[in-house]
Amino acid sequence: MSAIPAVQSAKAPALWPQLRVAMLECVRCTALVRSRSQVVPGAGEIPAAVAFVGLAPGRLGGDRTGIPFSGDRSGELLRRMILRANLPAVFITNVVRCNPRDSRGRNRDPNAREISNCRSHLRAELAFARPRLVVGLGRIAWRELAGRNVPFSPRQPSAIRIGGLCLFSMYHPAYVIRGAYSELAYASDFDRLSDLLRNAAAD
Ligand code: URA
């Protein structure tokens, strides 16, 4: 993914409700149309100060509730961290908007085709939300936002500007839930994000 405002093209929806309907009716991915219970567009404040981009709605979370990062443990942790850091005007979305499942019905990562099929939805959402900062949660989201050439380095996160977006990398909450990164360190990454936003607002 490169620069953001692809939504200004002639075919792009002019209004957020129109964009939501286009996403809710999307049938670009045959496998995902079968596996999903519903499409899960991004949700939150528009305009946003910060947008979080995760991977895909979870089987026990967004696929049930219709809201990204809600109803499962990843969502609970992400939302707790956002509240704790007192982040303003948050928008939350995913690289893909449908729950991908494997043959046993378990969550799987979206494949390259699914990610590419959903790219215009992500671009359009970010163009509508116009966040000052976009946080890629985990390696796949980071790669989608920053491209393959920018290493995913959430242990030394810093804001970088790429294609009109100000990007920040963080671990996916599922990584913290698995115990691979401490919740304390995660909380301090959110504090750093909060400082960045405050400084950006003061500029
Ligand atoms: N829920 C989401 O909406 N996205 C994720 O990446 C994980 C859980």
Task: Give the whole-number percent of the chain exceeding pLDDT 90.
Answer: 87
Cβ of 93 less than 6 Å from ligand 1: no
Cβ of 75 less than 6 Å from ligand 1: yes
pLDDT of residue 171: 98
What pTM was computed for the model?
A: 0.93
pLDDT of residue 203: 62
**Is the separation of the CB atoms in 61 and 69 below 8 Å?**
yes
Cβ of 65 less than 6 Å from ligand 1: no
Q: What is the mean pLDDT of residues 156-166?
A: 86
Mention every residue, 6+ apart, whose C-beta is less than 8 A from residue 83.
Answer: none
pLDDT at 25 over 90: yes
**3-class DSSP state of 7:** helix
Q: State the pLDDT confidence band at 200, using cuts at 50, 70 and 90.
A: confident
Q: Angle between the 73-84 and 183-202 helix axes, to the nearest 10 degrees?
A: 50
Q: What is the mean pLDDT of residues 14-35?
A: 95
Atom number in ligand 1 closest to CA 40: 3
CA of residue 158 to ligand 1 center, whole Å: 23
Range name among 48-62, 76-90, 149-163 with the lowest pLDDT average: 149-163
Domain chopping of the chain, boundaries: 13-202
Both tokens assigned to 201: 């607002």
pLDDT at 194 over 50: yes
Q: State the pLDDT confidence band at 9, using cuts at 50, 70 and 90.
A: very low
Question: What's the mean per-residue pLDDT of the chain?
Answer: 92
pLDDT at 4 over 70: no
Atom number in ligand 1 closest to CA 138: 6
Return d(Cα 59, Cα 72) in angstroms, integer: 9
CA of residue 89 to ligand 1 center, whole Å: 19
Return d(Cα 67, Cα 70) in angstroms, integer: 6
Residue in 119, 62, 59, 63 with CA at minimum distance from that of residue 92: 62
Q: Which CATH superfamily is domain 13-202 in?
A: Uracil-DNA glycosylase-like domain (3.40.470.10)
CA of residue 202 to ligand 1 center, whole Å: 31
**Is the separation of the CB atoms in 57 and 141 below 8 Å?**
no
At position 121, the amino acid (one-letter code) is: H
CB atoms under 10 Å from CB of 32, counted, come to 23
Cβ of 62 less than 6 Å from ligand 1: yes
Which among 55, 101, 107 is the best mutation to test ligand 1's pocket, defined by most ligand atoms within 8 Å of the CB?
55
Atom number in ligand 1 closest to CA 95: 6
Q: What are phi and psi of 38, to 5 degrees?
A: -160, 160
Return d(Cα 91, Cα 53) in angstroms, integer: 9
Spatial strand order of the sheet with 160-162 comes to 43-44, 90-94, 50-54, 133-137, 165-170, 160-162
pLDDT of residue 130: 95
pLDDT at 95 over 70: yes
